[in-house]
Amino acid sequence: MSTSTLPFTAADEDPRTLMADLQAAGLALDEGAGGVSAGRRGGAGPSDHRAVSLGGATLMVPMRGAGQSPYRLRVLSGSSAPASSTVSSRAWILRGDDLLAEVALPPAARFYALSTADGIPYSKIALLHARRVLASTVLQSCVRYADAARACRFCAIGTSLKEGRTVARKTPAQLAEVAEAAVRLDGVEQLVLTTGTPASSDRGAAHLAACAAAVKAVVPSLPIQVQCEPPDDFAWFARLRAAGADAFGMHLEAVEPEVRAAVMPGKAEVPVERYLDAFTAAVAVFGRGQVSTYLIAGLGDQPASLLAMAERLCGIGVYPFVVPFTPIAGTPMAAHAPPTSESMQGLYAEVARLLRRHGLSSAEMKAGCAKCGACSALSSYEGSPC
């Protein structure tokens, strides 16, 4: 995202710094927020977040309770639109009594008002993420959670299912129906399909392939990224591509062996070298820059370790999507502090340098979390040296 597209910010406020600060410290709703939602809770993706648009850039910002963040979100009087509206609400970002920026709050998705023929609300099948991205966890359970000792300490994949806000398994037909409506009613521009990891050797790739094929049969122009752990047979990458997936995601999250064992004990059973072999195979199918991975800063890895891994990934042709850890209520790491804004700014600048050197860019990706960019300020550092 280019800083030239950002709206009003205070004269002494660097927009990129503000983005990093907001994603580290979060936002608290100001008193009288006009019924504006604090955002989604739980799930496999960015939780306890809401979308905030700064000009042409939309960020997913973690929401905090009163007094838990130095930043407040004040919805301007009369700007809170009804859920069915297509008009964004206007709001201010404040720190103390200082006005830092004017932002927009994207309206609720229009397709949320619809349900499938068997009565399942579309919002239980897929969610609007950021502003123009549709996302769905096609399998809302994970084999890692069969044994609590092996579960990832930071993930809340079971929360939304437990609270009745989703269904355990989305069918290809359901996803195709919702995707068509999201494109038609809300101008969705890409689809991200992720999955909890099943016990099968394909790691969910077979169901992802069926879902991607069904969506492409209805909306063939909609770019799709699919995400799963490394399957036992790398031939699944070609099968996913043939089914209609345009890009692929496979998430390392943590990189140091001790950190991986501590925060994601079950997933750590898959060695990092296995991921690197899988990345090489996936890039051969999808192309350089069309494969991405999450690197979550703040789980315990040293910045130098994250940068060393980012350099290896860039060399393979994988986009290292660096995001700040966000604690999620109800998880074992709910009280774990997120990384500081200063540390994230340093990481963003160094990773952006690596991206430029290797000719990788979020803008060139066809679909995926890095293409969306809303969970990180990394893309704002890509364009030029800092």
> What pLDDT is recorded for position 57?
84
Instruction: Give 315-370 pLDDT, tens digit per residue.
Output: 999 999 999 999 888 899 999 999 999 999 999 999 999 999 999 999 999 999 99
Domain annotation covers residue 253: yes
31 and 88 assigned to the same domain: yes
Judge if 114 and 234 occupy the same domain.
yes
Contact 108, 80 (CB under 8 A): no
Give, for 241, the enclosing helix (H) or strand (E).
helix 235-243
Confirm whether 260 is domain-assigned: yes
Distances (CA, A) of 362 to 6, 90, 187, 371: 18, 27, 20, 5
Supply the pLDDT for residue 88.
76
Same domain (yes/no): 123, 101: no
Look at 77 and 167; give whichever has higher pLDDT: 167
Over its C-alpha atoms, the chain yields an Rg (Å, rounded) of 20
What is the predicted pLDDT for the residue at 81?
46
* Alpha-carbon gap, residue 341 to 88, rounded angstroms: 27
Q: Is residue 40 part of a domain?
A: yes
Residues 198 and 174 placed together within one structural domain of the fold: yes
pLDDT 10s digits, 6-49: 345 554 557 888 888 999 889 998 865 444 444 444 444 445 68
Domain that holds residue 84: 3-105
Instruction: Estimate to the nearest angstrom the gap between the alpha carbon of 291 and the chain centroid.
Output: 15
Strands (E), 138-194: 190-194
- Distance from the Cα of residue 222 to its chain's centroid: 18
Q: Does some domain include residue 204? A: yes
Q: Where are the beta strands (DSSP E) in 308-348?
A: 318-324
For residue 185, being part of any structural domain is answered with: yes
Each residue of 58-112: pLDDT tens digit?
999 998 888 889 999 999 865 544 444 556 789 999 999 899 999 999 888 999 9
| Alpha-carbon span 369 to 361, nearest angstrom | 13
Question: How would you classify the pairing of strands 98-105 and 89-95?
Answer: antiparallel
pLDDT of amino acid 119: 93
Does residue 321 lie in a domain region?
Answer: yes
Express the helix, strand and coil content of the chain in percent, nearest 5 each: 35, 20, 45
Q: Which of 105, 135, 169 is the last residue of a domain?
A: 105
DSSP letter assigned to residue 229: S
Return the number of other C-beta atoms located less than 10 Å from residue 330's C-beta.
14
Closest CA to 283 of 312, 248, 309, 252: 248
7 and 92 share one domain: yes
Query: What tokens were used for 274?
Result: 């296995």
pLDDT at res. 84: 46
Average pLDDT over the chain, rounded to an integer: 89
CA–CA dist 197, 142 (Å, integer): 5
Instruction: State whether 236 and 252 are in the same domain.
Output: yes
The pLDDT of residue 148: 87
Decide which of 77, 105, 133 is a domain's last residue.
Answer: 105
Helix (H) and strand (E) counts in the chain: 10, 13
Summarised one tens digit per residue, pLDDT across range 109-163 is 999 999 998 899 999 999 999 989 999 999 999 999 888 899 999 998 888 888 8
C-alpha separations of 178 from 139, 165, 185 in Å? 16, 16, 10
Q: Are residues 83 and 160 in the same domain?
A: no
**pLDDT of 34:** 47
Per-residue pLDDT of 84-94, as tens digits, reads 455 678 999 99
The token pair at 133 is: 């991205």
* Claim to verify: residue 221 and residue 316 sit in the same structural domain: yes
* Residues 281, 365 within the same domain: yes
Under 8 Å between Cβ of 244 and 212: yes
Q: Is 182 contained in some domain?
A: yes
Query: What total of structural domains would you count in the chain?
Result: 2
Single-letter amino acid, residue 351: V
Tell me the pairing of strands 247-249 and 190-194. Answer: unpaired
Last residue of a domain, one of 105, 128, 150: 105
User: Residue 314 above 60 pLDDT?
Assistant: yes
Identify whether the C-beta of residue 172 lies closer than 8 Å to the C-beta of residue 218. no
Same domain, 162 and 49: no
- pLDDT of 306 > 70? The answer is yes
Residue 245 has phi, psi (to 5 degrees) of: -70, 130
d(CA 219, CA 154): 34
What secondary structure does DSSP assign to 22-80, as a single string? HHHH-EEEPSS-TT----B-SBSSS-SEEEEEETTEEEEEEEE-TTS-SEEEEEPTT--
Average pLDDT over residues 230-234: 98
Q: What is the pLDDT of residue 64?
A: 86
Note the pLDDT of residue 2. Answer: 34
Inside any domain, residue 386: no
Do 255 and 335 fall within a single domain?
A: yes
Are residue 71 and residue 184 in the same domain, yes or no?
no
